Amino acid sequence: MVQDYKTIDLFGKLLFETIILKPPYKKPNLMPNEACFLYILKGEYDSISETERLKIEAQESLLMKCGNYTCNMRSSEVSDTYQALAVHFYPDILMKIYEDKLPDFLTQKLPLDIGMSKLNSDILIRKYIEGILFYFQNPDLVTEEILILKLKEIILLLNQTTNAPAIRSILSNLFSPSSYSLREIVKAHYYENISLEELAILNNQSLSSFKREFRKIYNSSPATYLREKKLEKSIQLLVSTDLRTTDIAYECGFTNASHFSKTFKNKYGISPTFYKLTHLDKPLN
């Protein structure tokens, strides 16, 4: 449940936003024409892109280039509240504030193909966030000139972070969205605990359209196909590792150990634990 939500606009577009909510909270995050810097103040944030998944904790941040995402906002061991601040980047606004003369690192294309990158705690970033929160608390002090300076400041700070290669790659390709096929998106999330609705969002489709296209490609329903992939990997882990059933359930993307055991037994007639104990020499049919 959202407890507090505030925004600050620049040139008619969302620049800064801050939110406080009671988790869990899940929503799609579609950014076809923008990029976003997200700083977590309390709780945890789970970001899923077309090909990646990153977990962000309090005092960490995330830079995302344009694309399709789904996000899960959660509580943490030290806080039952989620709080975050986001900065949004738009090509037309950057061109405007730099008067059509973008910094070299924003125009130089780099070979790294990275869609999002996590940043650890950094004193300069923390102080920047404190400054933005001050303006949320004192909106009468906000001017267009200040917002332009703060936008330029965060871009310079991000360019100086410790994981500079990844950050610069995202910044230099900030507004060049990658195009992924359904096959690539599905393959990247074989072993994730992700819903069909979320996969459809990542593929920029309605659920019904996603299911239809999926069946055309794989000649199977998404639920059946993904379940089989998870079970195939579980067999490999059962016979080749010392992982516990709980750990295997997590590695393969099942909801929990109980869900894994039930699905496994429905398919093979025995429990994962019994299968592991018997050390079968070949996979079950």
Does 137 share its domain with 235? no
Claim to verify: residue 138 and residue 194 sit in the same structural domain? no
- Residues 98 and 233 placed together within one structural domain of the fold: no
Cα→Cα distances 8→12, 34, 152, 213, 247, Å: 10, 16, 16, 40, 43
Least confident of 94-103, 188-197, 257-266: 94-103
d(CA 101, CA 182): 37
**Is 284 within a domain?**
no
Q: Which of 120, 153, 172 is the last residue of a domain?
A: 172
- Out of 133, 154, 172, a domain closes at 172
Residues 249-258 pLDDT 10s:
999 999 999 9
Which CA distances in Å does 57 have to 39, 125, 145, 263, 269?
A: 9, 15, 32, 32, 40
pLDDT at 14: 95
Instruction: For the chain, give the mean pLDDT.
Output: 87
pLDDT at residue 33 tops 80: no
Task: Judge if 186 and 168 occupy the same domain.
Answer: no
Q: Which CATH number fits the domain that encloses residue 84?
A: 2.60.120.10
pLDDT of residue 248: 94
Do 52 and 112 sit in the same domain of this protein? Answer: yes
Residue 31: predicted pLDDT: 73
Q: Are residues 240 and 131 in the same domain?
A: no
- The residues facing 26 across adjacent strands are 72
> Domain range spanning residue 144?
2-172
Enter the tokens of residue 47: 């970001």
Q: Do 168 and 82 belong to one domain?
A: yes
Asked whether the predicted pLDDT for residue 174 surpasses 70, the reply is no
**Phi and psi of 156, rounded to 5°?**
-65, -40
**How many domains are there within the chain?**
2
> How far apart (Å, rounded) are the C-alpha atoms in residues 150 and 55?
26
pLDDT at res. 119: 86
> Is 19 a domain residue?
yes
Nearest to 3 by CA among 19, 16, 17, 14: 19
* In the block, residue with structure tokens 């950057």: 94
pLDDT band, very low/low/confident/very high, at 263 (cuts 50, 70, 90)? very high
Look up residue 178 and give its two tokens.
């990658």
Residue 165 domain-assigned? yes
Share of the chain above pLDDT 70, in %: 91
Same domain for 268 and 131: no
285 belongs to a structural domain: no
Are 116 and 202 in the same domain? no
Does the structure show a pLDDT above 90 at 259? yes
- Last residue of one domain, picked from the residues 138, 172, 206: 172
**Long-range CB contacts (within 8 A, 24+) of 206-214:** 210/182, 213/182, 214/182, 214/186
